[in-house]
Amino acid sequence: MSREQYQIPTGSPTIGAGSGTTGAGSFNASVARDYESGGTMHYLCGDCAVRVPLEKGAPIRCQKCGARVLYKERTKRMVQFEAR
């Protein structure tokens, strides 16, 4: 898919109540607003794979298991690189 063909995803959030997962082509508007406004960022725990919300200055620790290894979630935006 070329950059010119790419359409920005729009629509209502598709997260189910408490499911915590989205489809491959879905777009969650509330998460995008959080990222842009500098509010809460979401990370994945390295031990229990729970989605952990963190605010600026909060201790880096999973709220469920107490692990300190958190991974940043992959972006929902299309990322494309040119290879030579």
pLDDT at 75: 86
CB atoms within 10 A of CB 2: 6
pLDDT at 1: 58
In tens, the pLDDT along 37-77 reads: 568 899 999 999 999 999 999 999 999 999 999 999 988 88
pLDDT at 11: 63
Can you say whether residue 68 is alpha, beta or left, with left for phi > 0 and alpha for psi between -120 and 50 degrees?
alpha
